[in-house]
C-alpha cells in the first residue's frame, strides 16, 4: 500500500485584475503520483513551474484564493484538511527551500525542540484542560514534570544534533550566526526530530557547494533507508538521480512520466516520454543537447498534448499520429512498470 497517493490533482488561483475582474490561473492539472514507505520519489521540473505548490497542497498550506480538485490519500485514508492539520509537522514534515523559514529571533536549539513536540512547555503546562492548581504540592509536582519534559526535549534535540554533526553550542546560536550548510542541517534536524513517516523536501539544496549537497542528500537517503517516505522536489535531475528511487517528471503543471532512476542510462532508451529523454540528453555528460522551444503555461496549454510543439517523436510520426498529438491530450497510462502521458510511447 502507498503511504501517500495524489489522484488527479488540479490547482488554480483566482486573481483580481483591474476593477472587479477576476482571472483563473491554472498551475497544476490532473496530476497523479504515489509514494511508498522507504522510497525517495523525486519530482523533477523546471524552476518556477509550480512544483512547490504541489508540496503546499499536500501539506494543506495553500493560500485562500486557491481552488483544489482531486483526491489525496495518506495511509489509505483521505487526507482531509483536518488530517493535514493534525499530521503536519508530526507524521508529515516539510524541509523548505529557504533557510529563511528559520525564526530569526529564536535560538536554534529551541527551534528544533519546538519542532519535536516533545517537552513542549505549552502542552505540559496546560495539563488536563488547563485547570487551575491551588495546591502547592501539586504545583511543585507540576514543576518537576515540566523540568523532566524539558530534559527529555533537550535529550531528543541533542540526539538529532549528534546525528547531523551539529555542536551543542549551536543550540544557543541564532540563525544569522550559522553558515548556510549548517542552517540546512538545522532544517533537516527540525523536520526529522518528531520521527515523521513522510518528508516533503522542497529544493533542499539550492546554491550549495557540491559537498554540502551530497551531505544533505545523504541524510535523505539514510532516512528513506530507515523507512521514511520522501518526496524530493527539485529542478536538478542529476542531483535527484543520485538518491531517488523513482523520478516523476513535471511538465507544464502535470506529471508526464514516472520512471525508475535506474532507467536513466546511455541514450535514455529505457525512458518513455520524449521530454524525459530530452531532459536526460540535455545533461552535460550526455552531450548537452538543448530542448528547443519553451514550456507552455498550464493556464494557456496548446491543443492536444502539452509537449506537442516541442516533440521530436510527434514530428517524426505519420500525419495521423501527428494530428492525434495536436488534437487529443494523452492520459497517464501504465507502461513497463512506470507511467507515461504520451499516445505513442512504447
Ligand atoms: S503524445 Fe505526441 S506530442 Fe505528446 S509526447 Fe507523445 S508523441 Fe509527443
Q: What percentage of residues in the chain have a pLDDT greater than 90?
A: 63
Residue 339 lies in a domain: no
- Residue 170 makes CB contacts below 8 A (sequence gap 6+) with 108, 109, 161, 178, 182, 186
Closest ligand 1 atom to the C-alpha of 313? 7
Residue 300 pLDDT more than 90? Answer: no
Distance 279 CA to ligand 1 centre (A): 15
pLDDT at 114: 87
> What's the mean pLDDT when you consider all of the chain?
88
Pair (216, 271) in one structural domain: yes
Distance 133 CA to ligand 1 centre (A): 70
Domain of 280: which CATH number? 3.40.50.300
Closest ligand 1 atom to the C-alpha of 325? 2
CA 340/CA 273 separation, integer angstroms: 6
Pair (200, 87) in one structural domain: yes
37-83: pLDDT as tens digits: 999 999 999 887 889 999 999 999 999 999 999 999 999 999 999 99
Q: How many CB atoms lie within 10 A of CB 177?
A: 12
Quote the cell numbers at residue 223. Answer: 532516512
103-160: pLDDT as tens digits: 999 999 999 998 865 333 333 333 444 566 666 677 777 777 777 777 788 998 999 9
Closest ligand 1 atom to the C-alpha of 330? 1
pTM of this prediction exceeds 0.95:
no
Going by CA atoms, what residue is nearest to atom 2 of ligand 1? 325
Pair (114, 86) in one structural domain: no
Closest ligand 1 atom to the C-alpha of 306? 4
Q: Which of 274, 296, 303, 322 has most ligand 1 atoms within 8 Å of CB, for mutation?
A: 274
Domain boundary among 292, 318, 335: 292
Pair (159, 45) in one structural domain: no
Quote the cell numbers at residue 230. Answer: 520522501
Residues with CB under 6 A from ligand 1: 273-274, 305, 307-308, 311, 313-314, 325, 330, 342-344
Residue 276 lies in a domain: yes
DSSP annotation of 132 reads: P
Domain total of the chain? 2
Closest ligand 1 atom to the C-alpha of 273? 5
The angle formed by the CA atoms of residues 29, 244 and 87, to the nearest 5 degrees, is 65
- Supply the range of the domain harboring residue 141: 108-172
Amino acid at each position: 500500500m502507498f503511504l501517500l497517493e495524489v489522484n488527479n490533482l488540479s490547482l488554480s488561483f483566482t486573481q483580481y485584475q483591474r476593477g472587479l475582474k477576476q482571472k483563473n490561473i491554472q498551475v497544476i492539472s490532473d496530476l497523479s503520483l504515489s509514494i511508498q514507505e522507504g522510497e525517495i520519489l523525486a519530482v523533477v521540473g523546471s524552476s518556477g513551474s509550480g512544483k512547490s505548490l504541489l508540496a503546499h497542497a499536500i501539506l494543506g498550506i495553500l493560500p485562500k484564493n486557491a481552488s483544489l480538485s482531486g483526491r489525496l490519500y495518506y495511509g489509505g485514508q483521505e487526507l482531509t484538511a483536518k488530517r493535514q492539520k493534525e499530521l503536519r509537522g508530526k507524521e508529515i514534515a516539510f524541509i523548505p527551500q529557504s533557510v529563511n523559514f528559520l525564526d530569526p529571533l529564536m535560538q536554534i536549539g529551541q527551534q528544533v525542540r519546538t519542532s519535536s513536540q516533545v517537552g513542549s512547555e505549552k502542552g505540559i503546562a496546560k495539563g488536563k484542560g488547563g485547570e487551575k492548581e491551588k495546591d502547592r504540592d501539586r504545583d511543585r509536582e507540576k514543576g518537576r514534570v515540566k523540568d523532566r519534559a524539558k530534559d527529555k526535549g533537550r535529550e531528543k534535540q541533542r540526539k538529532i544534533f549528534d546525528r547531523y554533526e551539529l555542536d551543542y553550542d549551536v543550540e544557543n546560536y541564532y540563525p544569522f550566526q550559522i553558515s548556510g550548510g549548517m542552517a540546512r542541517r538545522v532544517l533537516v534536524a527540525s523536520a526529522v526530530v518528531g520521527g515523521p513517516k513522510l518528508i516533503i523536501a522542497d529544493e533542499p539544496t539550492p546554491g550549495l557547494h557540491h559537498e554540502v549537497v551530497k551531505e544533505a542528500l545523504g541524510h535523505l537517503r539514510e532516512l528513506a533507508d530507515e523507512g521514511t517516505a520522501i518526496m524530493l522536489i527539485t529542478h536538478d535531475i542529476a542531483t535527484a538521480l543520485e538518491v531517488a528511487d523513482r523520478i516523476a517528471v513535471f511538465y507544464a503543471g502535470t506529471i508526464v512520466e514516472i520512471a525508475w532512476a535506474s532507467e536513466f542510462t546511455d541514450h535514455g532508451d529505457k525512458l518513455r516520454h520524449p521530454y524525459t529523454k530530452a531532459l536526460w540528453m540535455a545533461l552535460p555528460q550526455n552531450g548537452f543537447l538543448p530542448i528547443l522551444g519553451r514550456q507552455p503555461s498550464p493556464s494557456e496549454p496548446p491543443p492536444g498534448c502539452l509537449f506537442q510543439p516541442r516533440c521530436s517523436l510527434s514530428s517524426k510520426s505519420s500525419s495521423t499520429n501527428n494530428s492525434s498529438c495536436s488534437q487529443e491530450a494523452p492520459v497517464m497510462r501504465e507502461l513497463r512498470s512506470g507511467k507515461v502521458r504520451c499516445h505513442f510511447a512504447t
